[in-house]
Structure 1
């Protein structure tokens, strides 16, 4: 029989080895396919990574810091207080003069004044009929100053940056920038977005402005704005964004320097790919298209000043100067019907002026999100490394273990990407490596499942005549487990027994006893299983359970202790609820004793060739059983050994005695497990522990009188903690010891005589 089993086992192992390369090769092919897609950078495939970056933006927004940037908001309240839009240009001129007089470094308009002001006297005069004797009125109005001229005059006296919109269709005039843009390297015509037309403010307003900048903001293919363009191509000429031009004007810089790949020493990009911009004292890293990765801040009301407060003279001169002096002021609208809304990772309705302001903030603060040149290379490396590792390891470790390792890899990539974003402001896309891991796991698991089904069918055919159905199931799950015996493990063992079960059995019929045991054992087993225990066996009313096998449990000691405490608590509730439950047999005041120990055990399939059971043996198991028996003598519910007590720091443990259990010569210090960390910190328990330790010291020093006095003095402490039986036992023991001579070398160790 044994030789037949071994021969068939060898045959199975050979078959398994032949089957393994299939899933492995399939996994590696998937890895290389994903790597090829990532390397090809096919448009549209980056969408998932961008969505992950959106999540990062929401989870870790930029902390707001005052960078000297403010928004003058034409909000609903401003419209309500000052009248409907558009306001007369004289009001805009007054706003400009107010900001200029208060010392604004730059005044950037997220508004295009493309048509003459309809409220200008000349515009009103043109609409008055000239055939009704209105000549004098028309002449009088026409002689008054034009509102657009008044606005142009205010622009000329202030550091104003006027805005314009760019169009794809060819219409509108050429854009004449007040200041040029210097290019270091080839002209960036490869990636920068090209435009052919424009919508600009009136020529006299542009000529009076210190700067001109584009207001155009274009999101990604899904409509979400993640990158703010800082430069644009208008008829093959570079033009700046509103935020970039505002920074130039605020610093009094002559021009903006544009560096491209072949002019900056970069070699990883094609010639003409934009690398960075320099405006005054600020250097800005950009994408190849001249875009700034936006890192939107948390909401910051202090960034915004409602326009009505400036125009209604509501702010004092000191407050106005404090809010405006040296600041870059962006003027835009958030009122319904006026605002140009964009979708950002944080909001579906963000006014465009906020994007311009936050772009300027990031440049001033030097807080940049960057996607390094090596990012795609790193992502490709992770695809091959992690995906390849999983493809090689998964066929030999099973679906569950593989899922765990794959999950660890996935979490590692995701956490690493998030930390790179939060700590280093790097944009590293975790999606490609995760996609590779997911596809490798899915395909290999399906292939392995198919092969395992074939293996199980083969094993059943081979062994059904020789082994029990349970053993066949185990061999089918893992053919390596044919050997009898087990392995040594550090384990935690629990014995639980019902006190006085023989007396209970005498009171009821056998069916009623089974009914009672079912009602007791079911919730106890639920507690054990929830605490990651393995329920070994039931021995009548007793339960044997253990931790750290067959699966590793790093927290086995504390899991075991919590399970024992939960079992005691559960029994107290059962004693209240069960007697009133219809059809349930339940004796009055059921009590249990629990013995626990920790140490080396031998665990595995044990038994005969005909029948096996997964169990454990060893000195640790025997001692736990003895501790359970001693709980009755010491009057405690849970007794544990020193090896386990050493692992339960913070639990409420009370040293009971030093005991030699039956069948063992070496003594052990035993403890009562009374509660968890909460009880450990209870002053009542602290007093009990302190008083009992003083008693034990007197007892072991053979100071019988002092020991007896301490027991009597602290009687209330023992009663409050349901330890009266322990005190009574020691009184009886002291009485016996004090009446007869103590043997030489007595060390206080108690030799138990009963199991």
Structure 2
């Protein structure tokens, strides 16, 4: 106990600096100073540490074998080029047909990430024109209103137990009362009673999409939850009753919704999306012909609408692709196979021989997310995979819903230490402070045990160790850093031949742990630098005092040793084996007889200065001057192992230095002959 008290008494300043460092870093963390860097380190763990869970770039087949429940139906470049209609596509003849085709192909949920909140413009024009036509025959040639046709398709889908979820938004108009409202699909479409889900963006401070909202509330309706598109899709997929509402468990930071246990981001109504990979349709522009990432199965809208009665713009690509997945239809390209045996074999492969087998379609029992992926419409997001493999890759907005949906269905949530990484001002996490405290104290104790340079090396090792742990727990493999470092330095051929050893398996469901990286590392650096700076300032102050006090008597090297050893000169001296030194000028009284007082002072100043410099350079300690005599000793107050040798070398070097002085005085020609022949006597005694 006494030893502990003594330790704290001696180290209290360093500990105080460390505690201040911990407080400062914690406050900076609290007010979001590290948030952007923390989010980038979070992205780094996706792109550089773990990689995709699905698609051809996945490091193993864990999630590929598990399969995904989401299929993407994209308005992509192919659709832009091949669709018989131009954008915006007619709701009845395009979107209504898409819903019918997917329903017949066995889709369980169709989630459309496109808003239909206003009446279809083209149909409105035609409706106004029809009212002006008097001829019934001409009026019958005008197509029906697209909104009504879309509503009919939704009703038909519901009759086959396929749920359609349409996009809605929380909109704000300052001059409206109340200013907030839900921008739902047009009232004609809503007559079919489709599910609706919000698609409002959930952005972090740097504009990236990492979290997904479970629901939103309007300011004038607190407590009423409007579910988002992804949650509504999962609700329909899992058959969660309409009467079920999300309930928050603050103790465990869990949103309970039916069978779902959604891990909340702090106390918010959002959760961290466990992104399964980069944009499904993105393709690297390299010399190697890599396929698109394929995070989720994806199909072009042009192919899903391509049945026998629809003609795409390019006849060469009009193969009635969707017909193979619809009952009672045989695509033209299969009919064109002349050999009956080959035709029958192809029909069996495609699952359309004999009775139609809906379970063999790629849409069977899936959530089909429909949205735009063509760049011209600018519905793209930055996700954690934005900089994957060093290439900037934007993700279609529809895929943020897809990743959120798959995260919920797989129950594959990220375990965030303290339940959140950023925006801590009103939801502070003491677990973060504990990590900061532990790492900062380790840095202090390392610095206390060794010199600052060695401690600096150890602090770097501490940072690397923490970095390795943070990355390792994200992939549930604490050897990740060792494997990746070895793979980086060893020859590529050796690494490829031993891939199973160097590769890291993908983390299993809910085994990824997200630990704050930047603030804890900052605490290590701030603690180290603050303590080193304090020591430097104190050392300079103490050295300045020692040199100003003893600089005329002790060499700079010995002063440094005294400081390093924290040794202070003692009154009365020290007992020990030392070497005494004495010197004086031979026949000194003769000099005083021939030299004027001023000349005598100048001569002695120059002589004593040069001799003292030699003495100090050999680690001697000047005791005093007695007229022309120099009294000194070696081995005190700082021990000098070879003090006898140093004393002897001092005597020899003083002899040489006196010769130099004599030559100098002779060249000046301003001194009497006795000065040119000056001799001195030196005595040494060890004991």
TM-score normalised by L of structure 2: 0.57
Q: Does 1:99 align with 2:102?
A: yes
Q: Is the 8 A contact 2:275 2:403 kept in 1?
A: yes
Partner of 1:284: 262
> SS of the counterpart of 1:157?
helix
Partner of 2:432: 379
| The structure with more strand, counted as a fraction of residues | 1
CA displacement at 1:344 relative to structure 2: 1.8
Q: Does 1:326 align with 2:313?
A: no
Q: Is the 8 A contact 2:417 2:516 kept in 1?
A: no
Change (3 A) 1:97 1:260: closer
Q: Does 1:118 align with 2:112?
A: no
Q: Is the 8 A contact 1:73 1:333 kept in 2?
A: yes
Q: Deviations 1:705-753 (Å, cap 9, x if unpaired)? A: xxxxxxxxxxxxxxxxxxxxxxxxxxxxxxxxxxxxxxxxxxxxxxxxx
Aligned mates of 2:558, 2:8 — CA distance in 1? 22
TM-score normalised by L of structure 1: 0.53
Q: Does 1:146 align with 2:199?
A: no
Change (3 A) 1:218 1:35: closer
Stretch moving more, 365-374 or 67-76: 365-374
CA displacement at 1:358 relative to structure 2: 0.7
Partner of 1:81: 82
Partner of 1:314: 321
Gaps of 5+ in 1: 1-15, 175-194, 269-273, 483-604, 613-755
Aligned mates of 2:474, 2:175 — CA distance in 1? 42
CA displacement at 1:140 relative to structure 2: 1.5
CA displacement at 1:360 relative to structure 2: 0.7
- Listed as ranges, the matches of 1:201-280 within 5 Å are 201-234=185-218, 235-236=221-222, 237-255=224-242, 257-261=244-248, 264=249, 266-267=250-251, 275-279=254-258
> SS of the counterpart of 2:383?
coil
CA displacement at 1:241 relative to structure 2: 0.9
Partner of 2:576: none
Task: Give the one of 350, 356, 360 matched to 2:405.
Answer: 360
Change (3 A) 1:457 1:46: same
Change (3 A) 1:172 1:160: farther
Q: Does 1:435 align with 2:522?
A: yes
- Listed as ranges, the matches of 1:291-310 within 5 Å are 291-299=270-278, 300-301=293-294, 302-310=296-304
Q: Does 1:56 align with 2:45?
A: yes
CA displacement at 1:473 relative to structure 2: 5.3
Q: Is the 8 A contact 1:109 1:332 kept in 2?
A: yes
Change (3 A) 1:331 1:173: farther
Q: Does 1:390 align with 2:451?
A: no
Partner of 1:492: none
Aligned mates of 2:216, 2:406 — CA distance in 1? 20
Aligned mates of 1:43, 1:473 — CA distance in 2? 44
Q: Is the 8 A contact 1:362 1:368 kept in 2?
A: yes
Change (3 A) 1:327 1:127: same
Aligned-pair RMSD on alpha carbons?
Answer: 3.7
Partner of 1:109: 112
Change (3 A) 1:172 1:52: same
Higher relative contact order (CA 8 A, sep 6+): 2
Change (3 A) 1:358 1:415: same
Stretch moving more, 149-158 or 203-212: 203-212
> SS of the counterpart of 1:444?
helix
- Listed as ranges, the matches of 1:168-567 within 5 Å are 168-169=172-173, 196-234=180-218, 235-236=221-222, 237-255=224-242, 257-261=244-248, 264=249, 266-267=250-251, 275-279=254-258, 281-287=259-265, 288-299=267-278, 300-301=293-294, 302-312=296-306, 313-315=320-322, 316-317=324-325, 318=350, 321-347=360-386, 349-373=394-418, 376-391=429-444, 394-395=447-448, 397-423=450-476, 424-460=511-547
Change (3 A) 1:61 1:258: farther
Aligned mates of 2:110, 2:134 — CA distance in 1? 40
CA displacement at 1:259 relative to structure 2: 5.0
Q: Deviations 1:336-376 (Å, cap 9, x if unpaired)? A: 33242222222263221000011111111121113244773
Aligned mates of 2:398, 2:152 — CA distance in 1? 24
Stretch moving more, 388-397 or 349-358: 388-397
> SS of the counterpart of 1:324?
coil
Q: Is the 8 A contact 1:172 1:199 kept in 2?
A: no
- Listed as ranges, the matches of 1:541-690 within 5 Å are 607=642, 610=645
Change (3 A) 1:611 1:23: farther
